[in-house]
Amino acid sequence: MSYDPNNIFARILRGEIPCNKVYEDEYALAFHDIAPQAPVHVLVIPKGEYISFDDFSQTAPAEAMAGFYRAAQKVTQMLELQPGGYRILANTGADAHQEVPHYHLHIFAGCDLGWMIKRGLV
Ligand code: AMP
């Protein structure tokens, strides 16, 4: 599978579609999810063309990876998500229902987020 340059996050990165921006630097862009599933639901995306966690982890230069994860941590700091805490999630592929084929982290916070995953899957 090759990277689709017209996926919605690629279009947000190019400024073709607006987003509710939280943070941006040379490595990452963070913005509020359009359909929040928690009081705080922010997406963090790398600036390069990476489809998924697998793709990013295997092909991104070390500097891009460090910059991206530092940016995500900066977002949690800016939003003052401690001491309550937060959850970071990265859907990868069909079983995880990854909808947008541009690697992204979901950051959820602002309430008791419940158990890690729906019970009863096994
Ligand atoms: P995933 O299922 O992990 O690929 O999640 C994709 C997320 O992107 C979903 O939570 C959507 O609500 C969110 N989303 C889709 N389009 C937009 C948009 N234009 N702006 C912000 N969030 C979006």
pLDDT per residue over 19-59, tens digit each? 999 999 999 999 999 999 999 999 999 999 999 999 999 99
Residues belonging to the chain: 122
Phi-psi map region of 41: left, alpha, beta (phi>0 left; psi -120 to 50 alpha): beta
pLDDT reported for residue 121: 77
- The position carrying tokens 């008791």 is 112
pLDDT band at 110 (very low <50, low <70, confident <90, very high): very high
Task: Give residue 64 CA to ligand 1 midpoint distance, Å.
Answer: 22
Entry pTM: 0.97
Q: Which residues pair with 24 in a beta bridge?
A: 29
Centre a 10 Å sphere on the Cβ of residue 26 and count the other Cβ atoms it contains: 9
- Residue 96 CB neighbours (<10 A): 12
Of the candidates 41, 97, 102, 104, the residue annotated as catalytic is: 104
Q: What is d(CA 44, CA 19) in angstroms, rounded to the nearest whole number?
A: 12
Residue given tokens 């003052």 in the structure block: 80
Instruction: Give tens-digit pLDDT for 49-76.
Output: 999 999 999 999 999 999 999 999 999 9
**Ligand 1: distance of its center to the CA of 106 in Å?**
9
> Could you tell which of 7, 34, 88, 106 is best to mutate to test the pocket of ligand 1, judged by most ligand atoms within 8 Å of the CB?
34
Q: What is the pLDDT of residue 98?
A: 98
* Residue 102 annotated among the catalytic residues of the structure: no
What is the CA angle 34-93-36, rounded to 5? 15
Kindly give the number of the ligand 1 atom that is closest to the alpha carbon of 31. 21
- 33 CA distance to ligand 1 centroid (A)? 6
Amino acid identity for residue 49 in this structure: E
User: Going by DSSP bridges, is the β-strand pair 28-32/40-46 parallel, antiparallel, or unpaired?
Assistant: antiparallel
pLDDT of residue 118: 77
pLDDT of residue 57: 98
- Report the topology of domain 8-109: HIT family, subunit A (3.30.428)
